[in-house]
Amino acid sequence: MNKLLILLFFFLPFFTKAQTDVLILKKRGGEVRTYTIGSELMMKTVYNQWFQGSITNMRNDTIFINGLAFHYKEIAAIRRTQLNFGNTLLPSFMMVVGAGTFVLGAVNGWYRGDKSKDWYTTSGLIAGGAMLVGGYLLTKTRVRNYPIGRKFTLDYLVIGASNKK
């Protein structure tokens, strides 16, 4: 029994794979993001097509996204979507409040019978406009594109055993 257990532990490393290759997105030498098997990736190819999916395998400088094979040099851009409170709920709330400021000023002025030029105060126009513009600008922070070229580079790091001869 002990001999069988020792043989099992001796041959186990030959049948397992401990490390996988890594795709590294760099910005002028500094690391921005790393991708391995199982990572979600949205990329634009040099053929101007967008692909999104999970990395299913990486070997021989090739990345398999949902079974489709791409050489890492065929990637022209990587898109990263970040969804958090600061760019989903907060911008919508800010735009609703900004629009509500203008609607409320118009309704109050109409109800009081004021002239249309007296419906809004300067502070109300500034506050409502700032909320609308600020909310719109925050919605633009959801998606970040990393074009591969001058500023950003992709490096393929072979960690596991290579099949190249």
> Tokens at residue 136, please?
């719109």
Q: 125-134: long-range contacts (C-beta < 8 A, 24 or more apart)?
A: 127/98, 127/101, 128/98, 128/99, 128/101, 128/102, 129/98, 130/98, 131/94, 131/95, 131/97, 131/98, 131/101, 132/94, 132/95, 132/98, 132/99, 133/98, 134/91, 134/94, 134/98
User: What mean pLDDT, rounded, does the chain reach?
Assistant: 85
pLDDT of residue 47: 92
Listing DSSP states for 62-77 in one string gives EEEETTEEEEGGGEEE
pLDDT of residue 165: 44
Q: pLDDT band at residue 144, thresholds of 50, 70 and 90?
A: confident
Distance CA 23, CA 36 (A): 6
**114 or 51, which is more confident?**
51
Distance CA 161, CA 24 (A): 18
Per-residue pLDDT of 101-136, as tens digits, reads 999 888 988 888 888 778 888 888 999 999 999 999
Spans of all domains in the chain? 12-81+144-157, 85-139
DSSP three-state, residue 129: helix
- CB-based contact 76:44 (threshold 8 Å): yes
